[in-house]
């Protein structure tokens, strides 16, 4: 079988057909000939033929530089030589049998040593064990979260990429079949497709092809038996396929590098990845097997295959996530009993009756939910969502009062000192209506007439004088203070409580495992209420806070007016300023949010200072403007905030990053620069700073040159006031990764799952709950692979890796 001869003949004939334009083979004829002759020369045993062959100088051809007639003559010469060669008796031309196929194309495989290391060392070996991955490259992959070749494992199936030397119809076992020889400079291998003569027609000589399948022995030689195959249009096959995978990239990693590597990885190892899902679950949910899903996700046969693969992988992410959060909840609630807080109708009644308003129906419902939780000995673990101004603080204060009435301490934690002060003053205001203030010290108030004993509230912030701070801390430790308001850090690090039983966490997206375990180390297992004003779509809430029960205040107190919202063009800036000035003249106050500068806090601060100077120098020289940005000290920020709250400053200029979660009912104007660059939820948060009083409020959004998506957002925020609806839109427009702006939210890194896919999320959650009920610790042998996978994803006892 004149394999090499045949392939060269076909190429030369093709070249002739194409008019001697050196276009028959990729890379040019010279290169091909050089490679071909190297193999051919070893096959020619007759010395006469060999010397004629040498005279053709195929190993050093100059076809590229020949003229067209010269090319024609030369090709004719070779072709006639080839036909002679083909007719030679076998003893003169020995066609070498292809080299062993194990491995068929060694250069594309990790070395044997490396493979053994992988097999022995598990899939969690570093990706540097892959050929072609340097430490520097590995570092870049690490940044993408790719650290190990855990997708990999050794397989019996082989995948090679090779040239087609020859493919033809043949009869095997009396049936029309296809036989081909493929290979490259490292060797050749035979491929047969039994009972399928059609493949032959699809495999042109010298085409690049990927062959994937089992290697057997046939006729004493290694052979691929009816493998999967795919023609590659280009040598850079993995880069040009129609369904090319797109990998997330970090600086310095080129898409091609990643794709090439992934292709290798997927080809060689996907088949052997164990499926960690219990098969009964997999069948019930109609999920693909994992190895199949991995391959199809990377190099799908078609759209359907791709979608099915993604569905399986997305399910895995959400399922593992749900198992993790359920485990966390279980750990929090079952491992250590908390303190049941009995109902306290008398003080609660006094408090509620003293309010200058009725609780809304939503507030009442949520308060009931809280009280029911507090009565139990398993500690509460609840998320309270409610728009800015929906009245969360009032409800939380009622719960803190119940804790105090039971003889326990309660803590109210907020992210910033400004907010701590504001809460302190709000809570004190509420309590002074309910009872009688009998003591007023620095950062401390005491009330009678609410409990059967005096009730003491303290504010603990860093700004406090050292001696005073220590004094308050000491009194907290002695149990003299019932309700402590402060920032997270202060409460966790420095304060020894005497009997903490309820923690309210405000305006924070996550009260993590770390914070909880810090409290536990102090010997407490308090009820925890996390409050957020960021409306979180249900899917996201289940994902982020699946370990928390959900309560929602979905109703604003009556009489609140919608904030009139308008998107303005750059040329309308002056009229925006004029409008703001009119409001100030009428005694109202205004916020101006500086343009978003992303580089760094320092640059951001500089930009804010420049904007502040421009505004106070050129635009409002007659008005008193305040400025706050992230580089100011807490004391400086505080001072400005106080001035703004007291009305001393009519206009507050602020960077977007600074928490302006303050309550200034007299503020009626919010002006946001570069508004198109903020997400809907953030714009809604800005807008929530106004409209807190009885006056009509306004939100003006300036956008220089919004992108299409920016324009869509501005259109939406103009029309929609409802925070939950906006959150859903935000999720749709931005995707969950950016929903909160940054990773700090603890948002899990989902690669496949879309949080907008509610049905899949619900399925994953249902299945996780079902499994969790059967085998909470995943102790059954059948669940061992799953337990391992869970441990891998949720590293370090509960924090998502």
- Min dist. Cβ of residue 786 to ligand ADP (A): 40
Q: Is the peptide bond before 363 cis (omega within 30 degrees of 0)?
A: no
Beta bridge partners of 593: 654, 672
485 with 410: CB under 8 angstroms? no
- Min dist. Cβ of residue 347 to ligand ADP (A): 19
Going by their DSSP bridges, the two strands 483-487 and 381-386 should be labelled as unpaired
Residue 393 or 473 having the CB closest to ligand ADP: 393
Q: Which residue has the tokens 């979660």?
A: 661
- Min dist. Cβ of residue 473 to ligand ADP (A): 27
- Min dist. Cβ of residue 546 to ligand ADP (A): 23
Residue 389 or 454 having the CB closest to ligand ADP: 389
- Min dist. Cβ of residue 390 to ligand ADP (A): 4
Binding site for ligand ADP (CB under 6 A): 357-360, 363, 386, 388-394, 533, 557
Longest pairwise C-alpha distance within the chain: 119
Conformational region of residue 385, where left means phi above 0, alpha means psi within -120 to 50, and beta covers everything else:
beta
Q: Tell me the three-class secondary structure of 226-248, residue by residue.
A: CCEEEEECCCCHHHHCCCCCCCC
Residue 158 or 390 having the CB closest to ligand ADP: 390
332-361 in b/e burial notation, b at 16+ Cβ within 10 A? bbeeeebbebeebeebbebbbeeeeeebbe
Q: Which residue has the tokens 């309270």?
A: 384
238 with 244: CB under 8 angstroms? yes
Distance of alpha carbon 221 from alpha carbon 519, whole angstroms: 69
Element (H, E) at 261: helix 255-269
Residue 421 or 611 having the CB closest to ligand ADP: 421
- Min dist. Cβ of residue 510 to ligand ADP (A): 18
Distance of alpha carbon 677 from alpha carbon 741, whole angstroms: 11
Q: Is the peptide bond before 307 cis (omega within 30 degrees of 0)?
A: no
Residue 273 or 502 having the CB closest to ligand ADP: 502
What residue is closest to ligand ADP based on CB? Answer: 391
- Min dist. Cβ of residue 518 to ligand ADP (A): 25
Residue 294 or 362 having the CB closest to ligand ADP: 362
- Min dist. Cβ of residue 531 to ligand ADP (A): 7
Residue 101 or 430 having the CB closest to ligand ADP: 430
Residue 384 or 484 having the CB closest to ligand ADP: 384
- Min dist. Cβ of residue 360 to ligand ADP (A): 4
Residue 341 or 398 having the CB closest to ligand ADP: 398
Q: Tell me the three-class secondary structure of 135-152, residue by residue.
A: HHHHHHHHHCCCCECCCC
Distance of alpha carbon 115 from alpha carbon 109, whole angstroms: 9
416 Cβ contact partners less than 8 Å away, ≥ 6 residues apart: 487, 659, 661
- Min dist. Cβ of residue 245 to ligand ADP (A): 45
Residue 265 or 401 having the CB closest to ligand ADP: 401
Residue 213 or 386 having the CB closest to ligand ADP: 386
Residue 363 or 525 having the CB closest to ligand ADP: 363
Residue 170 or 426 having the CB closest to ligand ADP: 426
Residue 394 or 519 having the CB closest to ligand ADP: 394
Residue 593 half-sphere exposure toward CB, CA atoms < 13 A: 30
Residue 360 or 416 having the CB closest to ligand ADP: 360
The token duo for 780 is 């059954």
Beta strands in 387-494 (DSSP E): 409-414, 436-441, 444-448, 455-460, 483-487
Question: Three-state DSSP class for 459?
Answer: strand
- Min dist. Cβ of residue 397 to ligand ADP (A): 8
218 with 236: CB under 8 angstroms? no
Q: Find the helix packing angle between 392-405 and 345-354, rounded to 10°.
A: 150
64 with 28: CB under 8 angstroms? yes
Helical residues (DSSP H) of 586-740, grouped into ranges: 601-614, 634-645, 680-687, 708-719, 723-734
DSSP string, 557-577: PTTPPPPEEEEE-GGGHHHHH
Residue 153 or 721 having the CB closest to ligand ADP: 721
Q: What is the dihedral of CA 173, 179, 184, 187, to 10 degrees?
A: 20
- Min dist. Cβ of residue 427 to ligand ADP (A): 10
Residues 239, 241, 243, CA angle at the centre, nearest 5°? 110
- Min dist. Cβ of residue 393 to ligand ADP (A): 3
Residue 288 or 388 having the CB closest to ligand ADP: 388
Beginning with the edge strand found earlier in the chain, give each strand of the sheet holding 651-654 in spatial order: 564-568, 698-702, 667-672, 589-593, 651-654, 625-628
Q: Find the helix packing angle between 68-87 and 47-55, rounded to 10°.
A: 170
- Min dist. Cβ of residue 541 to ligand ADP (A): 17
The token duo for 710 is 């920016």
- Min dist. Cβ of residue 668 to ligand ADP (A): 16
Nearest to 662, CA basis, from 722, 591, 561: 591
Residue 167 or 503 having the CB closest to ligand ADP: 503
Distance between start and end Cα atoms, the chain: 58
The token duo for 44 is 């020619």
Distance of alpha carbon 23 from alpha carbon 150, whole angstroms: 42
523 Cβ contact partners less than 8 Å away, ≥ 6 residues apart: none
Element (H, E) at 520: helix 513-521
Element (H, E) at 6: helix 3-17
- Min dist. Cβ of residue 418 to ligand ADP (A): 14
Is the Cα dihedral 396, 399, 404, 405 positive or negative?
Answer: positive
């Amino acid at each position: 079988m004149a394999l090499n001869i045949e392939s060269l003949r076909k190429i030369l004939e093709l070249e002739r057909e194409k008019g001697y334009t050196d276009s028959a083979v990729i890379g040019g004829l010279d290169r091909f000939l050089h490679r071909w002759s190297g193999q051919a020369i070893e096959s020619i045993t007759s010395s006469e033929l060999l010397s004629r062959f040498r005279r053709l100088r195929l190993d050093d051809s100059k076809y590229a530089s020949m003229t067209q007639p010269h090319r024609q003559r030369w090709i004719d010469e070779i072709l006639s030589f080839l036909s002679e060669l083909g007719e030679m008796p076998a003893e003169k031309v020995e066609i070498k049998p292809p080299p062993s196929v194990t491995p068929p194309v060694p250069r594309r495989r990790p070395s044997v040593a490396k493979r053994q290391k992988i097999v022995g060392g598990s899939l969690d070996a570093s990706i540097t064990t892959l050929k072609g991955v340097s430490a520097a490259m590995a570092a870049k992959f690490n940044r993408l979260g790719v650290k190990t070749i855990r997708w990999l494992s050794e397989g019996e199936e082989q995948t090679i990429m090779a040239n087609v030397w020859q493919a033809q119809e043949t009869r095997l076992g009396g049936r029309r079949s296809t036989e081909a020889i493929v290979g490259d400079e490292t060797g050749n291998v035979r491929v047969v497709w039994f009972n399928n003569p059609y493949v032959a027609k699809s495999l042109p000589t010298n085409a690049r092809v990927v062959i994937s399948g089992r290697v057997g022995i046939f006729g004493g030689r290694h052979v691929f038996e009816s493998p999967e195959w795919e023609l590659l249009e280009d040598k850079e096959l993995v880069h040009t396929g129609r369904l090319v995978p797109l990998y997330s990239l970090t600086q310095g990693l080129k898409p091609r590098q990643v794709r090439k590597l992934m292709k290798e990885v997927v080809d060689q190892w996907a088949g052997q990845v164990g499926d960690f899902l219990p098969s009964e679950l997999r069948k019930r949910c109609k999920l693909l097997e994992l190895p199949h899903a991995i391959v199809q996700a990377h190099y799908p046969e078609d759209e359907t295959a791709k979608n099915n693969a993604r569905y399986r992988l997305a399910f895995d992410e959400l399922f593992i996530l749900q198992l993790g959060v359920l485990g966390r909840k279980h750990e929090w609630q079952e491992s250590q009993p908390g303190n049941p807080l009995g109902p306290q109708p008398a003080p609660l009644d006094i408090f509620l009756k003293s309010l200058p308003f009725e609780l809304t129906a939503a507030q009442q419902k949520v308060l009931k939910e809280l009280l029911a939780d507090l009565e139990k000995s398993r500690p509460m673990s609840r998320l309270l969502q409610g728009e800015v101004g929906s009245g969360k603080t009032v409800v939380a204060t009622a719960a803190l009062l119940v804790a105090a009435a039971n003889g326990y301490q309660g803590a109210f934690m907020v992210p910033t000192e400004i907010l701590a002060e504001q809460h302190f003053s709000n809570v004190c205001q509420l309590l002074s209506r309910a009872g009688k203030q009998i003591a007023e010290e620095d950062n401390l108030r005491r009330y009678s007439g609410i409990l059967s004993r005096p009730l003491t509230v303290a504010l603990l912030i860093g700004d406090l004088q050292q001696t005073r701070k220590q004094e308050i801390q000491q009194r907290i430790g002695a149990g003299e203070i019932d309700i402590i308001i402060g920032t997270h850090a202060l409460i966790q690090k420095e304060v020894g409580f005497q009997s903490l039983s309820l923690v309210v966490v405000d305006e924070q997206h996550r009260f993590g495992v770390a914070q909880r375990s810090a409290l536990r180390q102090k010997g407490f297992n308090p009820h925890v209420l996390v409050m957020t004003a960021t409306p979180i779509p249900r899917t996201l809430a289940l994902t982020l806070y699946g370990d928390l029960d959900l309560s929602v205040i979905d109703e604003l107190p009556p009489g609140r007016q919608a904030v009139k919202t308008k998107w303005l063009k750059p040329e309308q800036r002056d009229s925006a300023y004029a409008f703001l000035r009119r409001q100030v003249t009428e005694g109202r106050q205004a916020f101006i949010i500086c343009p978003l500068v992303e580089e760094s806090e320092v640059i951001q601060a500089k930009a804010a200072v420049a904007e502040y100077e421009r505004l106070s120098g050129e635009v409002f020289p007659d008005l008193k403007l305040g400025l706050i940005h992230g580089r100011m000290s807490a004391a400086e920020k505080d001072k400005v905030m106080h001035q703004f709250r007291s009305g001393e400053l009519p206009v507050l200029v602020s960077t977007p990053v600074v928490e302006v979660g303050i309550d200034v009912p007299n503020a009626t104007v919010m002006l946001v620069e570069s508004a198109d660059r903020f997400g809907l939820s953030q714009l809604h948060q800005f807008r929530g700073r106004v409209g807190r009083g009885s006056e009509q409020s306004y939100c003006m959004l300036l956008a220089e040159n919004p992108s299409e998506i920016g324009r869509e957002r501005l259109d939406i925020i103009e029309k929609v006031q409802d925070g939950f609806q906006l959150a859903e839109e935000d999720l749709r427009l931005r995707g969950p990764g950016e929903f909160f702006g940054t990773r700090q939210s603890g948002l899990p890194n989902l690669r496949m799952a879309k949080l907008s896919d509610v049905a899949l999320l619900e399925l994953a959650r249902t299945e996780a709950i079902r499994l969790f009920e059967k085998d909470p610790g995943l102790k059954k042998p059948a669940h061992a692979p799953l337990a391992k996978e869970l441990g891998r994803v949720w590293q370090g006892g509960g924090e998502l890796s």
